[in-house]
Amino acid sequence: MTDITRADIYKEQYAHFRSMNDILYKIPPLFTVILGGLWYFAVLNLEKDKWIACAVFAFAAIASVCFVNVMQRFRIAFNSYIDNLNRMDGDMKVSIKPSCLPSTIATVQILLWTAAVVSVLGIFYAAHR
């Protein structure tokens, strides 16, 4: 039987945290490509078939809301790793002090909610064109 030390747990937790931090900065461009592509397709179809454009804008709105959920679940896991590492670091923990500015994840969520609103506005614009 192998004994797992506190140092081993710390190294593993830190490796997961570092990986998640890397992923955190890759997610927004992915969302941007998906939503931008949907919007582009919808606008291209405004003249041809406004109902296709409406459906694509609706799908973009739904996708935006789903992406907010993805980011919320990511936030919960990410913050759990930060809390674990801070407990293990004790007095040597490195944390961001409270700020009046939203976190990176909250900023992405705000932008995704905005994208959902823009998509809904796109539905109305396409339908009344």
Task: Parse the chain into domains and list their residue ranges.
Answer: 6-127
**Pairwise CA distance, residues 14 & 11, whole Å:** 5
**Pairwise CA distance, residues 63 & 118, whole Å:** 12
Model confidence band, residue 97 (pLDDT cutoffs 50, 70, 90):
low
Cβ proximity of 64 and 112 under 8 Å: yes
Over range 79-90, report the average pLDDT: 87
| Segment among 10-19, 50-59, 61-70 with least mean pLDDT | 10-19
Cβ count within 10 A of residue 114? 11
> Pick the residue with more confidence: 62 or 103?
62
**pLDDT given for residue 77 in this prediction:** 93
**Pairwise CA distance, residues 43 & 45, whole Å:** 5
32-63 pLDDT, tens digit per residue, is: 999 999 999 999 999 999 999 999 999 999 99
